[in-house]
Structure 1
Amino acid sequence: MGGMILPDAEWRHRDGLAHLIEVLGDARFVGGSVRDTLLGIPVSDLDVATPLPPERVVELLKAAKIRAVPTGIEHGTITAVLESGPVEVTTLRRDVSTDGRRATVAFTDDWREDAARRDFTINALYADPASGEIFDYFGGLADLEARHVRFIGDPFQRIAEDHLRILRFFRFLARFGDVADAAALEACTVRAKDLMALSRERIADELLKLLVARDAVRVVALMIERGIFEPVLPEVASAARFSHLADREAAAGFDPSAIRRLASLIPQDPALAEQIAARLKLSNAQRRRLAAAVLPPEGAPRPLAYRAGAEAALDQLLLSDRPITEALEVRDWQPPRLPLTGGAIVARGIKAGPEVARLMKQVEGDWIAEGFPDGDRVAALADAAVTQALRSASS
Structure 2
Amino acid sequence: MSGDAELTAAERAALDALRTEDGSFDATGRVVDPVEVDDERVVEAALRPRRLEEFAGQPKVRDQLSLVLEAARRRGSPPDHVLLSGPPGLGKTTLAMMVASELDRPIRVTSGPAIQHAGDLAALLSSLVEGEVLFLDEIHRMSRSAEEMLYLAMEDFRVDVVVGKGPGATAIPLELPPFTVVGATTRAGLLPAPLRDRFGFTGHLDFYEVADLMTILRRSARLLGVEADDTGIAEIASRSRGTPRIANRLLRRVRDWAQVHGSGLVDEEAAHAALALFDVDAAGLDRLDRAVLEALCRRFGGGPVGLSTLAVAVGEESDTVETVAEPFLVREGFVIRTPRGRAAAPKAWRHLGLSVPRSAMTQDALPLDDDDAPTGRFTS
Q: Normalising by the residue count of structure 2, what TM-score does the alignment of the two structures yield?
A: 0.23
Q: Normalising by the residue count of structure 1, what TM-score does the alignment of the two structures yield?
A: 0.22
Higher RCO by CA contacts (8 Å cutoff, separation 6 or greater): 2
Q: Highest CA radius of gyration, 1 or 2?
A: 1
